[in-house]
Amino acid sequence: MALPAALLLWLALLLLPSAAPKPTCDPSACPPCPEGDPEVTATPGVTGCCPPCPLPCSCPPYLESDCEMQGFPGGRVPAGRSFYIDFARRLCTCGPGGDIACSPLCPRPEPACRALGSPVADGCPRCVCYDPEGMAVPAGSSVRRGSRECRCPALGGELLCGEPGTEE
C-alpha cells in the first residue's frame, strides 16, 4: 500500500506547478523604449513579459545628412521611424532588425508614355505633353492656349489643339 501512496504523492508533485496560477502579462504596461541612447536594448528595470527594445538603425554614409536634417542626430534612426529622401519621393524606414529599407512613393508611369515630366509639385514623373513654351501638361487633361482648347492624350506626347470653336 505504500507504493500506490508514493506514486500518488509523486504524481501530485508533478502536476502541482501546472495547477498554480500563472502571472498575467500585460504588454501595454511596458514602458516605452528609449529613443535617445542607441546602446540601450532593453527597458531598464523591466523583466518578464516586456520585450527587448529593438536596435536603432545606422544611416549609411550617403544618407547621414538626410537623417540628421530630419531629426535623427548622429544618423541613428529608432526602429519603426521613417525619413524622406530624393526630394520626398522615397520613404526610408528603420526596421526592427536594424536595417533601413526605402520604397518609392511615386506611382510608376505607364511604360508606353510618349513623354515624361513632372507637372505636379510632388515631383513624381508622369505622362505629359509639352506645349510650345515647354510647359508640361498632364496626360489626359485639357488646357486653353489662347482661344484654342488643347488636350493631352492619355499616354502624353504631342498636345492636340483644335481651331477656335472646334474640337479635334
Domain range list for the chain: 52-105, 116-161
What is d(CA 66, CA 85) in angstroms, rounded to the nearest whole number?
Answer: 7
What is d(CA 99, CA 93) in angstroms, rounded to the nearest whole number?
Answer: 8
What is d(CA 137, CA 159) in angstroms, rounded to the nearest whole number?
Answer: 8
CA nearest neighbour of 128 among 149, 105, 154: 154
pLDDT tens-digit map of 92-113: 999 988 899 999 998 888 899 9
What is d(CA 111, CA 108) in angstroms, rounded to the nearest whole number?
Answer: 8
What one-letter code names the amino acid at 55? Answer: L
H/E stretch holding 7 reads helix 2-19
Beta-carbon-side half-sphere exposure of residue 139 (alpha carbons within 13 Å): 19
User: What's this model's pTM, rounded to 2 decimal places?
Assistant: 0.55
> What is the pLDDT confidence band of residue 155, given thresholds at 50, 70 and 90?
very high
> What is the pLDDT confidence band of residue 38, given thresholds at 50, 70 and 90?
very low
pLDDT tens-digit map of 111-145: 999 999 887 777 888 999 998 888 889 999 999 88
Whether residue 57 is predicted with pLDDT greater than 90 in this model: the reply is yes
What is d(CA 47, CA 21) in angstroms, rounded to the nearest whole number?
Answer: 19
What is d(CA 16, CA 7) in angstroms, rounded to the nearest whole number?
Answer: 14
